[in-house]
A and B are shown apart, each in its own frame.
Chain A
Amino acid sequence: MPSDKLIELSHAASLVPNGATMSFGGFTTQRHPMAFVYEMIRQKKRDLYLFGHSPGGDWDILIGAGCVRRVELAYEADEAFNTVGPRWRKAVERGEIEWEDYSNFAMVSRFAAGAMGLPFMPIRSLLGSDVMHQEALTREQRAADLRTSPQKLHVMESPFDPSDRVVLVPAIHTDFAILHVQKATIAGTVRIEGQSFADVQQALCADHVIVTTEEIVAEEVLRREPERNLLPFFAVHHVCHVPFGAHPYAVFDYYDYDPCQLKTYHDGAPDDGTFQEYLARYVYGVKSHAEYLEAVGGSARLDGLKADPAYGYSPNLRRRRLEG
């Protein structure tokens, strides 16, 4: 039998050293491992190097809390809840973060190359754009960190047809991938319900994979329908049982995003003072994820977010931008 990989969330976060390269699962408003992110902020991680396609508040709060030094990304926002991550914007405009811009397809292809053990992936995107022509990282910044590709990308003619041009994007390898999923076994077999985003590619290009899960399920249950599973147990190193672990973001089939909490975050985050108040109240001011869930309103708030099984989300959730 595969071994038991279940550990506490605080223990899992403590395994990440300062300066680690990481990626987080999810996409803008769904399935980010937020409980893990909050725990990393409480543990005062520094100099993290993040890779992502379309992160949202997971990156924004980490950047704002001073945990991040360099990122490679395509997008940083919560879409309709806020079209730019406020702390990401501030960090760039103040020169407090090093970054490189790609597109979503480029980033996903880079994760896929790493996951397949290839040095790069050819794509037909980026041609003619400034995502291709411009580099946000200087040559010196690239050379200063060997984990950054020495070159952003490379344009190449097909060896089979010189009139055909592709862009080669470099593979990503990270120290850690952190996913938040619906179901996992204590051995690490993973089932993701709904859109899988790029979680599989991100996991398979990482040296250490930590999965936080809404539910722990028996191994034989997931093995009854293996075609619905996305990662085998041998690709996962640690498992944490964290219900509501993506709050305030959604988890398909379990709960919806929390429009009130997202409004509270986005109303306060653009200002340094009110952002620090948010951290003090919801991150530093609580000792655990259980205390965080109480701080945001406990079951009175969370019950209203629970998914209707017929939809996989909460069809009656009040989402219109709340005033005042």
Chain B
Amino acid sequence: MADYTLTELMAVTAAREIRDGEIVFAGTGLPMLGVMLAQRTHAPNCCIIFQAGTAASQLAHLPMSVGDPRNMRGAALAAGLNEVFSYILQAGRVDIGFLSGAQVDRFGNINSTSIGEDPRHPHVRFSGSGGACDIACLARRTIIIALHEKRRFPERVDYITSPGWLEGAGSRQKAGLIRGGPSVVVTTKGVMRFRHENKAIYLASYHPGLTAQGVAEDTGFNLDIEGANETPAPTSEEIRILREVVDPERIFLK
């Protein structure tokens, strides 16, 4: 079995969610590691889209922002935000969007705006939506990356920056959203998915060395752990590619 870090396990777990040929809308950090790894393993034909204006880059160096000049490398198209959001995302051409935030709730709603009951007078202010709300509304499905702590997984997020399944089954449609919704949450402690019948989150797997009960105790709502098993470990080849090819500079890998 390969020796690996938590960041590497999360990147590999996220990469395995991507199918060959899919169009992926990625943000900075772990999502970039996941897509670049997927392209070099099981999904050589998946495409990476950056909201700042590039499609299907063939990244040679890991970008540090979606506005990074590195995103131009081998791209099939360079344009701007309007082209990417209107003709690619809104038009339904994005299969997967990556999202993250400070809080995630039991229906996969995400907060990346502020902490506190009144967003006009927040205790802590973050960057704000950026393209996250748009990706959450308009990608065919989303993958959420999150730090797993009790306070970061409350019953309800303080502010829905990015709509998940809102209040459960049927509520996205009721809100007027025409597609999408979160399919998986990859955290520092496990992998969570959503029950088909009510769209509530459940623990699908806990990372090696942890227990389902332990992960539930680090979650702010009553976490359904029925049927959870251990997250499959990365292969030594996946770890080699991450370290030697994707992020040799150790920008995001820890």
Contact = CB atoms under 8 A, between A and B. Distances in A.
B82 A198 contact: yes
Interface string B147-169: 00000000000011111001000
Contacts of B138: 124-125
A128 B137 contact: yes
A57 to B, nearest CB: 12
Contacts of B172: 128
A125 B119 contact: no
User: Which size bracket describes the interface of A in this complex?
Assistant: 35 or more
Interface in A106-137: 106, 108-109, 112, 123-131, 133-134, 136
Interface in A191-209: 194-201
Contacts, number: 222
Contacts of B171: 128
B125 A131 contact: no
A197 B172 CA distance: 30
B16 interface: no
Given A77-B127, A105-B89, A130 B161 contact: yes
Contacts of A194: 69, 72, 78
A272 interface: no
B11 interface: no
Contacts of A250: 68-69
A80 B65 contact: yes
A236 B253 CA distance: 44
Interface stretch (A211-219, A294-302, A306-314): A306-314
B2 interface: no
Given A127-B175, A129-B137, A75 B52 contact: no
A103 B81 CA distance: 12
Contacts of A196: 53, 78-80
B205 interface: no
Contact of B134 (A27, A84, A104): A104
B72 A195 contact: yes
Interface string A235-273: 000000000000000111100110000000000000000
Nearest to B177: A127
A101 B159 CA distance: 12
B66 interface: yes
Given A83-B127, A105-B90, A127 B137 contact: yes
A79 B122 contact: no
Per DSSP, chain A at the interface is loop
A74 B64 contact: no
A105 B82 CA distance: 7
Nearest to A192: B80
Nearest to A27: B67
B1 interface: no
Contacts of A84: 125-127
B114, B128, B138 interface centre (most CB from chain A within 10 Å): B128
A28 B79 contact: no
A160 to B, nearest CB: 15
Contact of B69 (A80, A83, A103, A256): A256
Nearest to A262: B64
B52 to A, nearest CB: 5
A53 B81 contact: yes
Given A76-B127, A130-B159, A311-B73, A104 B177 contact: no
B196 interface: no
A201 B129 contact: no
Interface string B98-136: 000000000000000110000111111111111111101
Nearest to A98: B120
Contacts of A78: 65
A109 B85 CA distance: 9
Contacts of A5: none
A307 B124 contact: no
B70 interface: yes
A31 B66 CA distance: 13
A313 to B, nearest CB: 4
Interface of B: 28-29, 50-54, 60-61, 64-73, 78-82, 85-86, 89-90, 113-114, 119-134, 136-138, 159-163, 166, 171-172, 175-178, 249-252
Interface of A: 26-31, 53-54, 73-81, 83-85, 88-89, 92-93, 95, 101-106, 108-109, 112, 123-131, 133-134, 136, 138, 155, 165, 194-201, 250-253, 256-257, 307, 311-313, 315, 319-321
29 contacts: A27-B66, A28-B52, A54-B52, A75-B127, A79-B64, A80-B252, A88-B125, A92-B122, A92-B125, A103-B134, A104-B85, A104-B131, A105-B85, A109-B82, A124-B137, A124-B178, A128-B171, A129-B129, A195-B50, A195-B53, A195-B71, A195-B78, A195-B79, A197-B80, A198-B80, A198-B81, A257-B68, A311-B69, A315-B60
4 tightest A-B CB contacts, nearest first? A128-B175, A165-B176, A75-B130, A27-B67
Given A75-B130, A252-B72, 10 more contacts: A30-B67, A78-B65, A93-B123, A101-B128, A105-B90, A126-B134, A155-B176, A197-B81, A250-B68, A311-B60
